[in-house]
Structure 1
Amino acid sequence: MGRTLRNRKRIGKRVAHSASSDELIGLFKWLKMKVRNQKLRPTMFHDTGRGLMTKRPIYPGDVIIAIPKSFLITMDTVLKSEVGFLLKRSHLKLNLQQAMSIFLITESEKQEESVWWRYIKVLPETFDTPAFWKSSDLCLLSKNVYKKTFAALNDLQTFYDEIILFLSSSKEVTITFNEFRWAWYCINSRSIYYDCDSSPYITDTNKNIALAPFLDLLNHSTTAEVEAAFNMNNNCFEIKTYNSFRKYDQVFISYGAHSNTHLLMEYGFILPDNPHDVYEIDYDEIVKVAQNLNLQYIDKKKRVIEENAINRKLVCSKEGMSWSIHAVLKILAMDFTELKSWKLIFKDDTISVTNQKAVKNMSQIILQQELLEIRSVFVKFPSKDKSRLTRHQNLALDLLTIEENILQQSIKLLQ
């Protein structure tokens, strides 16, 4: 079972803290002899915080970083650890992110005794994702983002309860919810895609993840173009960029084409002028508008919409409402004869003048309702002066303002 785990009175006494420049350099030195293509150096930037700076020019097609497999925390790493011993003797299985969370917590308590200590001690102590916010600050989010946060917290509690049940047979192992939340979001915000084989001790759900020390210091940009994959030839996880960077520039990668809502939920930040920003419209709210207008055959129309998965990606952006919203509204506005030919929506043609007017009317009602809902949240802020708001309150205010602008632009495009 291992000396450290046997002798430990309590697992999960986390000692990770905000990383200093010296600690970032320590991590860099730890990896220096193994990490190839040493173009990058950890640096604290004024606008983005810690990140990676290039020591020489980088050109499109360059591999900016290559982390050897031995420095990745993977399923194999967890299964070969003391946590792996617990997994192998239990009749219960966890998903990899749960198992990796326990691994991070146990390794954190070992401090210098852990081979991963230089990495663990530069991990953030807390996160700006809404899962870490106070209840009073969560009330400053729009209803859509609040619902997402509530669902995420429920899922997190379920995962934690499964861990507690899993650890119930181990008297020396206890983990608090806060400790688990910390470890979960360390993985959630930093993991890379790493293909691995199935294991009889780990569920297949979300198993293709790994942590890559140093690589996860790279910050996100919507303009970054990269290719990330494990290179079987050199046994390294590599990131290749298709951007150019001058000497001493901060090097960015892309976490994906994500809206600010997603970035806040998963990573704890938002970006101004994010080209991927959208505002989600709840399907039930759309149906409710149709019902309030006394449109007929609603149940039949709902079956058509739901059985054909048309009620997905119901969003609006600065370019207006998505195709899916228009398609749902067209179907809801159809008369009995038009409904027989509902597949005409895929041709993007006008169904009829009457249908077109009904769609526009519902669109205006929906967007105005959403806009009023957003504006009702602004009055909840303790101050109009951003300098007097907390970081989380400012994040909520910025996101709310972005959502308001999207709705205003969508309404303007209807006119």
Structure 2
Amino acid sequence: MNTHEELLTWATEKGVKLHGIQPKRMPGRGIGLIATRSLKPDEVILDVPTACLRSIDTVRPSIIRHLPKSITIHGLLAADLALDTSSKYAAWNAVCPTPEDFNTMPLVWPRDLQMLLPKAARTLLSNQEAKLKKDWAMVSAAFPQLDEDRYRYAWLLVNTRTFYYVTPKLKKRSTDDHMCLQPVADLFNHGDVGCNVAFDHHGFTIKTMREHAEGDELKICYGSHSGDFLLVEYGFVMDKNKWDEVLLDDVLLPKLDARQKDKLEEAGYLGKYVLDRETVCYRTQAAVRLLCCGFREWRRFIDGIDDGERSQPKVDRAVLGLLGDLKQDAEKSISEVEALTIEDQQQQEMLIRRWKHIKDLADANITWLRGNISP
């Protein structure tokens, strides 16, 4: 019996119910779940009862009483995993990613490679490092015998495999700390569109959203996340992601003088300029207009008095210049990443792929704008 079969035997004994699906190793993507027969829309394919979840309610009292009440659920679950030496979850643990599988996570990359991440990804990584550092400080003070690498591995397991979960006990915590682990369901890979995931006090239920043929992989959507978020939080990039976007701050902010930045800050439009698969955001339109138009015209636009149609051709040409700068930055970054000597080439290749996605995003919008700018 292989590890997947052992997991299913263990999980079904605990009350997990699979309907028309089974685990399968997916080349280059770990383990996924495939249809064992044709499936109709709105068909239940997995039930995971509350009794099977690993949550704040299952963390051992001997761990909870030694840790501050302020520790995150993330940090608490990681401590529970890292300190567990029993065989209770052996079948579940056996199908979890190995520490080596997390080499794609920027958190463990060499610093010089981390520094070449896109700006949005660097910001996400900085926040992630701060969260881990804070959790580890609390856990290591309470359990000095615990190895830091072991805790970081457990922390990354929680980071990449938890589901949104809230109970009366969790409601007072921040929404990004509403989480639990659940067996079998954590084998679903991500898709920008996937099966429906719902939970109540009985547990989790996962249903199809469309028809699936036998042999199809079934996925769930981890959220409407950009490529930078997926890379930092989950350690992978997608060639097709309808939610992808890129931050334009690095190419737009340097073009603004101090007075213009003050005006934008007063109006609530300084920074967080975004390009998605179709267009730039309204914040970008507002900032670029301050470069192209007089102050009074810009003020009428952000106050909603002027729809900006008259100045749109000037704005589009300016945006076209920004996208050209973004494309150049992506090409330069690709060259810099390629020039590094990195022990794990998979890390290097993943970052190059991310920058190529950004270049493609810029190219697609450049092509569209050139075909639609009014003379």
**TM-score range with shorter-chain normalisation?**
0.7 to 0.9
Aligned partner (choices 154, 160, 164) of residue 183 of structure 1: 154
Query: Which of 31, 55, 67 in structure 2 is aligned with 1:50?
Result: 31
* C-alpha deviation, 1:197, in angstroms: 1.9
* Alpha-carbon separation, structure 2, partners of 1:161 and 1:205: 22
The answer to whether structure 1 residue 398 and structure 2 residue 353 are counterparts is yes
| Matching residue's letter, 2:169 | S
**For residues 87 and 54 of structure 2, what CA distance do their matches in structure 1 show?**
13
1:82 aligns with 2:62: yes
C-alpha distance in 2 between matches for 1:32 and 1:380: 50
Residues of 2 paired with 1:228 and 1:144: CA distance? 28
Q: Name the SS for the 2:22 alignment partner.
A: strand
The equivalent residue for 1:228 is 197
Counterpart of 1:258 in 2: which secondary structure? coil
3-state DSSP of counterpart to 1:229: strand
Contact 2:286 / 2:302 at 8 angstroms: preserved in 1? Answer: no
Q: Read off the aligned partner of 2:11 and give its amino acid letter.
A: L
Match of 2:135 in 1: 159
- 1:50 to partner: Cα distance: 1.0
Aligned to 2:53: 72
Which residue in 2 is equivalent to 1:246?
213
Separation in structure 1 between the aligned mates of residue 273 and residue 196 of structure 2, nearest angstrom: 29
| 1:368–1:248 distance in 2 versus 1, CA, 3 Å | closer
1:292-323 CA-partner distances (Å, limit 9, x unpaired): xx9x654233311x2xxx45752113423223
Larger Rg: 1
**Inter-partner Cα distance in structure 2 for 1:243 and 1:320:** 29
The aligned residue for residue 110 of structure 2 is 134
Aligned-partner residue type, residue 377 of structure 1 = S
Q: Is the counterpart of residue 209 in structure 1 residue 179 in structure 2? A: yes
Q: Deviations over 1:342-368 (max 9, x none)?
A: 434586433x54x852x3454244323
Q: What is the CA-CA distance between 1:413 and the residue it aligns to?
A: 3.2
1:158-193: CA deviations, max 9, x gaps?
33223334x1xx5xx433432232122211111111
Alpha-carbon spacing, 1:38–1:144, altered in 2? closer, same or farther (3 Å): closer
Deviates more, 1:253-262 or 1:96-105: 253-262
Following superposition, the deviation at residue 199 of structure 1 comes to: 6.7
Inter-CA distance 346–366: structure 2 relative to 1 (3 Å threshold): farther
| Corresponding residue number in structure 1 for 2:87 | 114
Whether the aligned pair in 2 keeps the contact of 1:96 and 1:206 (CA below 8 Å) is no
Relative distance call for 1:335 and 1:349 in structure 2 (3 A) is closer
Which of these residues, 256, 281, 288, is aligned with residue 329 of structure 1?
288
In the alignment, the residues of structure 1 paired with residue 306 and residue 207 of structure 2 have an alpha-carbon distance, to the nearest angstrom, of 40
Q: Which amino acid aligns with 1:266?
A: E
Which of 317, 322, 336 in structure 2 is aligned with 1:366? 322
> Counterparts of 1:324 and 1:65 in 2: how far apart (Å)?
42
Query: Would the alpha carbon gap of residues 105 and 259 (structure 1) be closer, same or farther in structure 2, given more than 3 Å must change?
Result: same
Aligned partners of 1:149 and 1:290: how far apart in 2?
A: 27
Q: Distance in 1 between matches of 2:305 and 2:277?
A: 23
Indicate if the aligned counterparts of 1:95 and 1:205 stay in contact, CA closer than 8 A. no
Relative distance call for 1:140 and 1:339 in structure 2 (3 A) is closer
CA 247–336 in structure 1, closer or farther in 2 if over 3 Å, else same: closer
SS at match of 2:130: helix
Q: Secondary structure at the match of 1:223?
A: strand
Gap change, CA 1:195 and 1:142, over 3 Å in 2? closer
The separation in 2 between residues aligned to 1:97 and 1:178, in whole angstroms, is 16
After superposition, the CA RMSD in angstroms is 3.0
| Residue number in structure 1 paired with 2:234 | 267
1:321 aligned counterpart, secondary structure: coil
Shift in CA distance, 32/405, structure 1 to aligned 2, threshold 3 Å:
same
1:64 CA displacement: 0.9
Tell me which residue corresponds to 1:3.
none
Offset at residue 82 of structure 1 (A): 2.5
Q: Is the 8 A contact 2:256 2:291 kept in 1?
A: yes
Between the aligned partners of 2:280 and 2:363, the Cα distance in structure 1 is: 12
Tell me the TM-score normalized by structure 1. Answer: 0.78
Among residues 305, 314, 317, which one is paired with 2:276 in the alignment?
317
Structure 2: which 5+ residue stretches go unaligned? 371-375
Say whether the 8 Å CA contact 2:301–2:308 is kept in structure 1: no
Distance 1:373 1:285 in 2: 9
Q: Which moved more, 1:92-101 or 1:148-157?
A: 148-157
More displaced, 186-195 or 315-324?
315-324
User: Match of 2:331?
Assistant: 375
Looking at structure 1, the residues matched to 358 and 228 of structure 2 have their Cα atoms a distance apart, in angstroms, of 9
Q: 1:334 to 1:174 in 2, by over 3 A?
A: farther
Q: CA deviation at 1:237?
A: 1.0
User: Which ranges of structure 1 fall in alignment gaps of 5 or more residues?
Assistant: 1-20
SS of residue paired to 1:161: helix
TM-score (norm 2): 0.86
In structure 1, what is the Cα distance between the partners aligned to 2:253 and 2:35? Answer: 52
Q: Quick one: distance in 2 between partners of 1:346 and 1:223?
A: 38
